[in-house]
Structure 1
Amino acid sequence: MILQAIVDPDMRFRDIVTGWPGSVNESSALRSSGFFNLCEKGKKIQLCKGKHLSESKSEFNKRHFATRMVAQRALARLKEMWGILQGTIWRDTNRLPRIILVCCLLHNIVIDMEDEVQDEMPLTHHHDPGYKQQICDYVDKKASMLRDKLTLYLSGSLPP
């Protein structure tokens, strides 16, 4: 399945298109995307195919390469974090686009939470001296089991 992704410098997914079978030409998938249509409304330029590039074109190529590297790192991190994307779920092509979307959203949330945690993290791991963990006396056993199964499923440790 094709995943078209636009990634920002912090590796957050800003736009994704998924659902196209892997057999579809990537160019066709791109041309049918909303992002492509937005770009088509903008200024068109002819790309030079020569080996001798001007300094500005050479600089553009360097920046384009760096941008691609950020996108590749974001995709690698997505696959590492969400093992479900590597498992048997690939056989279920009906649910896969939604699962990829959710994993991308969770990926972004994790990045946002890491930023907040790093900003607010105290330098010590000790709790206040009077802190006592609060435990709820009522536990819904079925909900607890479902939560645990969901955790295993999303981590890729449990088959669908």
Structure 2
Amino acid sequence: MNDYEINAYSSEEELIENEARPRVFRRRPNYFEIYDPQDFFVRFRLKPRTVEMLLEELDEAISHPTERNLALSASQQLLLTLNFFANGSFLRVTGDFQGVSAATASRTVHRVSRAITALRPRYIQMPEGEEIALVRQKFYNIARFPRCIGALDCTHVKIISPGGNNAEVFRNRKQFFSLNVQAITDSNLKIRNIVTRWPGSTHDSYIFRNSNIYAALERGIYGDSLLVGDSGYPVRPYLMTPLHETRNEAEALYNESQIRTRNVVERTFGVWKRRFPALAMGLRLNIGTTQAVVVATAILHNIACNVNENVPPVNAAQEAAIDFIQDIPIINEDEAHQYVGRINDNNRARYNLIYNYFRRL
């Protein structure tokens, strides 16, 4: 646990008065029977069939050993948690939806989110082996950018102030408290890698330099494969960023292709947050549970992609195609060497790609 997590509120539950009151057992409806598939999807963001499949994987992990005190069943716990992800409201409202207290809702969201995160090795992983060639081909089909296996970026997930002496490190440049979440996505809008441990004030490039995926790329685990990122990241032999200015048509073509290829990560964030609005509206949970919720919703997003769940509406501007430059004249070799001679080794990889590939398109 990081130092800035120690003084974080345990959850909304801590704000509830601890006065003794008689227990009230409310009615707990069966939402699989009450709602048709469309209404069910609106409230839980997944189809009944997908939830039942997920329940099979989580049943053992979240089931209570006995039914004493009318404990929530595994199905009820999962639906309560999915409803919280889907509406982003207060825990009291989520608890009322399933007929339990806010305290029980808080414990349930934490319990189920942790159980879902245990599925991470199965549903969130970078491409390996033969899959690498398939991922590279799909990225190439977008805008003819070669050897790409992922688009890299960060997004902010709004949180309440965690309190304590270090709360301000969570305040980002837009002046609200957040986690800065790094993700690598593929062309199918699936999240292939995710990092959730950094406060909102942390710069994107710092998060990347301190991530496991950075170490793997430095070791050459993925061979000549590339990531694409925005100008907030430093260029590396394995990370291609856009040029700040273009001086010829090969460089313009590189930028156009890089931007279109990188656009998938922005689209992924949009779909992910529309699928689970709690991420966009803000989480009123402790830091540990918030991190678990972020990873859990990423896993659920990937499951939804795997089974072709309905995609929530996204901004049409994010889907708009960028006109692609087709007619590129051959650039004089001396000009190419002139540019390459003025750059360091990291930039050299980018310019080699431009002049050995994009000038020939």
Question: Normalising TM by the smaller chain, what interval?
Answer: 0.5 to 0.7
Q: TM-score, normalised by structure 1?
A: 0.61
Percent identity between the aligned chains? Answer: 24
> 2:295: which partner in 1?
101
CA RMSD of aligned residues (A): 2.7
Pick one of 270, 279, 291 that aligns with 1:85: 279
Shift of 1:34: 1.2
> 1:110: which partner in 2?
304
Is 1:5 aligned to 2:200, yes or no?
no
> Using a 3 Å threshold, how does the CA distance of structure 1 residues 53 and 29 change in structure 2: closer, same or farther?
farther
> 2:247: which partner in 1?
52
Counterpart CA distance in 2 for 1:90 and 1:68 is 31
> 2:218: which partner in 1?
40
- The structure showing larger relative contact order (alpha-carbon pairs under 8 Å, at least 6 residues apart) is 1
> Using a 3 Å threshold, how does the CA distance of structure 1 residues 90 and 23 change in structure 2: closer, same or farther?
farther
Counterpart CA distance in 1 for 2:212 and 2:254 is 24
Shift of 1:9: 0.4
Deviates more, 1:22-31 or 1:58-67: 58-67
Once the two structures are superposed, the pairs formed by residues 115-154 of structure 1 within 5 Å of their partners are none
Shift of 1:68: 2.3
Counterpart CA distance in 2 for 1:53 and 1:14 is 34
8 Å Cα contact 2:272/2:301 also seen in 1: yes
8 Å Cα contact 1:78/1:104 also seen in 2: yes
8 Å Cα contact 2:246/2:252 also seen in 1: no
Letter in 2 for 1:62: E
8 Å Cα contact 2:283/2:290 also seen in 1: yes
Pick one of 52, 62, 65 that aligns with 2:259: 65
Letter in 2 for 1:84: A
Letter in 2 for 1:105: I
Shift of 1:54: 6.1
Q: TM-score, normalised by structure 2?
A: 0.29
8 Å Cα contact 1:19/1:96 also seen in 2: no
Letter in 2 for 1:52: R
Shift of 1:91: 5.0
Deviates more, 1:62-71 or 1:75-84: 62-71
8 Å Cα contact 1:82/1:103 also seen in 2: yes
Deviates more, 1:40-49 or 1:13-22: 40-49
> 1:122: which partner in 2?
none
8 Å Cα contact 2:183/2:191 also seen in 1: yes
Letter in 2 for 1:76: G
Gaps of 5+ in 2: 1-178, 225-235, 311-361
> 1:19: which partner in 2?
197
The alignment of Structure 1 onto Structure 2 pairs a total of residues equal to 115
> Using a 3 Å threshold, how does the CA distance of structure 1 residues 53 and 3 change in structure 2: closer, same or farther?
farther
Gaps of 5+ in 1: 118-160
Counterpart CA distance in 1 for 2:199 and 2:219 is 27
Q: Deviations over 1:13-61 (max 9, x none)?
A: 0111112001112221110011111222347549876631561x43332
